[in-house]
Amino acid sequence: MLDLKFIRENADLVRRAIHDKGEKADLDALLKLDVKRREIIGQVESARAEQNKMTGQIADMKKAKQDATDVIKAMRGLSDKIKSFDDDLRQIEEKIYQIQIRIPNIPHQSVPVGDAGHNKIIKEWGSFTEKDFTPLPHYEIAEKLNLIDFNRASRIAGAFFVGYRGLGARLERALINFMLDLHVDKHGYVEVFPPFVTKRDSMFGTGQLPKLEEDMYRIESDDLFLIPTAEVPVTNLHREEILDGEELPIYYTAYTPCFRREAGAYGKDTRGLVRIHQFNKVEMVKFVRPETSYDELEKLLANAEEVLQLLELPYRVVNLATGDLSFAAAKCYDLEVYAQGIGKWLEVSSCSNFDDFQARRANIRFRPFKGAKPEYVHTLNGSGLALPRTVIAILENYQTDEGTIMVPKVLKKYMGVDIIR
């Protein structure tokens, strides 16, 4: 969330961010309400000063044994006036807040301006070996090898849910363990295992609410949400806390299932694993000092890249344009892996810096040094990685002409086999 003073003093910048991100927030209404708010605050302060003056006057009159009835009556009228001002102020501040929470984060100056067509590819890594046969799409080879059961999962939970079995289930588990081990043992993250449901205020803290509520699975009786990503519970680990500056940076990694209704996405990528309602993901989350956050973003990106490099999957890095950025992000890199069977680049990670946007919403602060005034941390997160599309790339890129799947070298010790038959 943006600070109200910042919005007031940088109205043109905020207006441009709203436009460039394609959001809807009535900035002009907020600015008018803010003017009215400050007028009322001035009136309240003036009335309270007069009230204090009257209090002293009444005390002096009583001390001098004078009749203070008229002054007391006037002060009561002033008290009623102040109460009315306070009521008006609360209503105005609530209106301001409802607009303020719908204003997106400001894109970083290095973010391209425009819609998704202006996304900029900044790096490509690896190459795929041209096959002398046409590789099957993942959903066909997965069914042939009995790795994924699409039909039974749909009977259990409905469309866009899948179930893994046999070596398919083992591949999923192998990827999770490999990624967690890499991030903990080499990259220095602390592994956590958070709840898979979260309260409304946690969803608000990371920016999913109020904008994306229709995309979320909600348990109405308890007003809880199934998490759309581990970003939500892990970022909220330090909600309403003041951290010791010497502890920063703090790195966490977590495996969780993720649940997304993706309302409005029906009709897109309806076959296979490209778009499903429940999927597994390993997440990385950082809490850092503001002056280091963009260096930390590059390190976060490198951590996610190393997963793909070790899996020997060709990928590219995309600097997302303003119109493709999330509501809360200031800058985001997408990692897209190439899948030969369906001939598409697929997003497997988004690595984002949120500046202090999430920290303000979740009230996560730190003291730069002992005795210093608390400041808001900067938060970052990135997928390391999302599994469905990583599995797609493995099934399609490691496919052989015999209809088997070669296991990536780095996964062999986790899988216990060299070939998926």
Is 350 annotated in the active site? Answer: yes
Exactly one of 93, 262, 347, 375 is catalytic; name it: 347
Is 38 annotated in the active site? Answer: no
Pairing assessment for the beta strands 278-288 and 250-259 based on DSSP bridges: antiparallel
Exactly one of 239, 260, 361, 365 is catalytic; name it: 260
Secondary-structure breakdown of the chain: helix, strand, coil percentages, each rounded to the nearest 5: 45, 20, 35
Residues comprising the chain, all counted: 421
Exactly one of 202, 293, 350, 383 is catalytic; name it: 350
CA distance 193 to 191: 7
Q: Closest Cα partner for 390 from 335, 352, 324? A: 335
SS3 of 251, please?
Answer: strand
Pairing assessment for the beta strands 250-259 and 190-192 based on DSSP bridges: parallel
Is 260 annotated in the active site? Answer: yes
In angstroms, what CA-CA distances link 48 with 42, 83, 86, 94, 168? 10, 11, 12, 23, 71
Crossing angle for the helix pair 293-311 and 387-397, nearest 10 degrees?
30
- Find out whether 277 and 215 touch, Cβ atoms under 8 Å: no
Residues with catalytic roles: 260, 275, 347, 350, 389
